């Protein structure tokens, strides 16, 4: 029996197994990255939707000075906190911080509306624009996070 034939067969078998394992690992990593990206995209979408629902509801709210400072209750009713917590589980710190700033901006907007500031008042306009800037920064951060994932 020729040992070179047996050795060549063994080496070929080992190389085949290693190549298959390497290919499976690469495929697993790609599938995992796609799953992580989709999970992050879903969390981002749910958060933005909840935030928009809250902001739109607040813009239609009648003034009520006793509700100033109680926006956290109203924002919770629109699912913003639940969506933000979901985002905290899957996103990086920078994105979570940006989401927190946006939530605070919506709370400030709620307080401006609840305090009775008219839509053309400087306080209302300032709060509305601050939410817009925070939301724009948040969306850019989300896009960057989705590109990295």
What pLDDT does residue 149 have? 66
CA distance 2 to 19: 26
57-103 pLDDT tens trace: 988 888 888 888 788 888 999 999 999 999 999 999 999 999 999 99
DSSP-derived 3-state class of residue 91? coil
Alpha-helix residue ranges (DSSP H) falling in the chain:
3-59, 71-77, 80-90, 93-114, 122-148
What pLDDT does residue 5 have? 84
What pLDDT does residue 28 have? 86
- Please give the domain boundaries of the chain with CATH numbers for all domains: 36-148 (1.20.120)
Least confident of 21-25, 42-46, 75-79: 21-25
With a cut of 80, say whether residue 25 has pLDDT above it: yes
CA distance 22 to 109: 53
What pLDDT does residue 122 have? 96
**Which of 78, 58, 70 minimizes the C-alpha distance to 119?**
58
DSSP-derived 3-state class of residue 31? helix
Kindly state the percentage of the chain with pLDDT values over 90. Answer: 64
With a cut of 80, say whether residue 1 has pLDDT above it: no
Q: CA distances (Å), 134 to each of 11, 15, 51, 116, in order?
A: 59, 54, 12, 23
Mean residue pLDDT of the chain comes to 91
With a cut of 70, say whether residue 109 has pLDDT above it: yes
Contact in structure between 44 and 87 (CB atoms under 8 Å): yes
With a cut of 80, say whether residue 55 has pLDDT above it: yes
Select the more confidently predicted residue: 112 or 4: 112
């Amino acid at each position: 029996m020729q040992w070179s034939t047996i050795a060549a067969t063994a080496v070929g078998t080992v190389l085949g197994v290693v190549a298959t394992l390497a290919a499976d690992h690469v495929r697993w990593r790609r599938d995992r990255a796609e799953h992580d990206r989709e999970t992050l995209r879903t969390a981002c979408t749910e958060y933005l939707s909840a935030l928009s629902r809250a902001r739109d509801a607040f813009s239609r709210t009648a003034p009520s000075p006793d509700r100033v400072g109680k926006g956290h209750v109203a924002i919770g009713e629109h699912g913003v906190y639940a969506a933000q917590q979901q985002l905290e589980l899957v996103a990086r710190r920078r994105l979570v911080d940006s989401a927190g700033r946006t939530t605070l901006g919506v709370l400030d907007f709620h307080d401006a509306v609840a305090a009775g500031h008219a839509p053309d008042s400087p306080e209302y306009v300032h709060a509305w624009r601050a939410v817009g800037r925070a939301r724009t920064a948040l969306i850019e951060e989300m896009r960057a996070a989705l590109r990295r994932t």
